[in-house]
Amino acid sequence: SLFASYDDRGQRKVARIGLDGRVTPIIDNVGGDGLDRPYTGGAFSVSRNGTIAYTGGDASAPADVWVSSGGKARRLTQLNAVMAASKALAPIRKIAVTAPDGRSIDAWLATPPGQPAGKRAPLILEIHGGPNSAYGPSFATDVQLYAAAGYAVLWTNPRGSTSYGAEFANLIDKKYPSADYDDLIAAVDAAIADGTADPDNLFVTGGSGGGVLTAWIVGKTDRFKAAATQKPVINWASEALTMDNTLFTSRYWFTKLPWEDPMSYWNRSPLSLVGNVKTPTLVVVGSDDYRTPVSESEQYYAALQIRGVPTALVKVPGASHGGFTSRPSQSAAKASAIIAWFDRYRTGAGGNAAPKP
């Protein structure tokens, strides 16, 4: 038999694949790779006797080591028991989202610890990168830090996300960003409709592909009080010619090279919408990012300054693209900067902005 891990609707799983091609799911709670954000992930290893060791967990705590044998799984470690006992963590639940075209979109919602039932909270929309990747019901320090600061946190898998099949992932092929924007806004509307989110205190953030969509969103709507775009692509033409893998963007995201069809690159660049932006927007990037180069963030920061939009630029020292928060100090710096920025524009308890008259 062959053992393989795969993502299914935002959850990492392990299955046995027989010589006849039959796939038998074995484990459905693999997790543990994306500590700061709720990405799918995790690892497993199979012993000679068929016992499987794996990193497993859920949204309530970081992953532990588990073993599965004979169809039964048990946890071997409780590495964060002291933390779990001493901290009030945000409860997390799945919510139903229907996109404008009728597609069902998976989304999860964390609420501030101790939040009274029926009381609305400021909402942070957290957007995953990729864009071909997936979030899930996984533990994430950013989610818990935002919730501890009094925010509800919403994350979702809009079209283009993995773990829902090739057709769903390819809905944004050669047209990103596009209708994924509508999926994200539908998720925000769902969080408002169920009584959790305060419609007058909406915030948005995301990294890499999520940074692209954050900048795209504030160019499309003024609904959000503030935004934080992290390591974004702002101008597809300049990114395609300055990133570390210069063949990637023009090959996989566009049908032609930048000089062959410059308008196709421009029309999908958040910079093309900066003339519409009124939302105070923080720009965050690693000082050693060569995937979505620092110059992308600097372009957006400069454009917002020229427009007179409140903005700030934070460069995380020594941080690369994939290792944006690989050190605890980097993760803490990023999260604290975003919380401080949102608090500046949040109204009501915990916020610094004056409420509407």
SS3 letters across the chain: CEEEEEEECCEEEEEEECCCCCEEEEEEEECCCCCCCCECCCCEEECCCCCEEEEEEECCEEEEEEEEECCEEEECCCCCHHHHHHCCCCCEEEEEEECCCCCEEEEEEECCCCCCCCCCEEEEEEECCCCCCCECCCCCHHHHHHHHCCCEEEEECCCCCCCCCHHHHHHHCCCCCCCHHHHHHHHHHHHHHCCCEEEEEEEEEEECHHHHHHHHHHHHCCCCCEEEEECCCCCHHHHHHHCCCCCHHHHHCCCCCCCCCHHHHHHCCHHHHHHHCCCCEEEEEECCCCCCCHHHHHHHHHHHHHHCCCEEEEEECCCCCCCCCCCHHHHHHHHHHHHHHHHHHCECCCCCECCCC
Q: What string of pLDDT tens digits covers the 357 residues of the chain?
A: 899 999 999 999 999 999 999 999 999 999 987 788 999 999 999 999 989 999 998 888 889 999 999 889 999 999 888 888 888 999 999 999 999 999 999 999 999 999 998 899 999 999 999 999 999 999 999 999 999 999 999 999 999 999 999 999 999 999 999 999 999 999 999 999 999 999 999 999 999 999 999 999 999 999 999 999 999 999 999 999 999 988 999 999 999 999 999 999 999 999 999 999 999 999 999 888 889 999 999 999 999 999 999 999 999 888 888 776 667 888 888 899 999 999 999 998 666 675 554
Query: Is position 321 annotated as part of the catalytic site?
Result: yes
Tell me the whole-structure pTM to 2 decimals: 0.94
Contact 324, 289 (CB under 8 A): yes
Annotated catalytic residue, options 238, 264, 297, 321: 321
For residues 158, 161, 165, 167, the Cα torsion angle rounded to the nearest 10 degrees is 70
Phi/psi at 301 (nearest 5 deg)?
Answer: -60, -45
Residues 319 and 344: their CA atoms lie apart, in Å, by 25
Length of the chain: 357
Tokens linked to 201: 């205190």
Q: What confidence score (pLDDT) does residue 117 get?
A: 85
Annotated catalytic residue, options 133, 208, 250, 264: 208
196 DSSP β-pair partners:
none
Query: Is position 208 annotated as part of the catalytic site?
Result: yes
CA 177 from centre of chain: 15
The arrangement of strands across the sheet holding 152-156 comes to 92-98, 104-110, 152-156, 121-127, 197-207, 226-230, 281-286, 311-316
Q: What confidence score (pLDDT) does residue 357 get?
A: 42
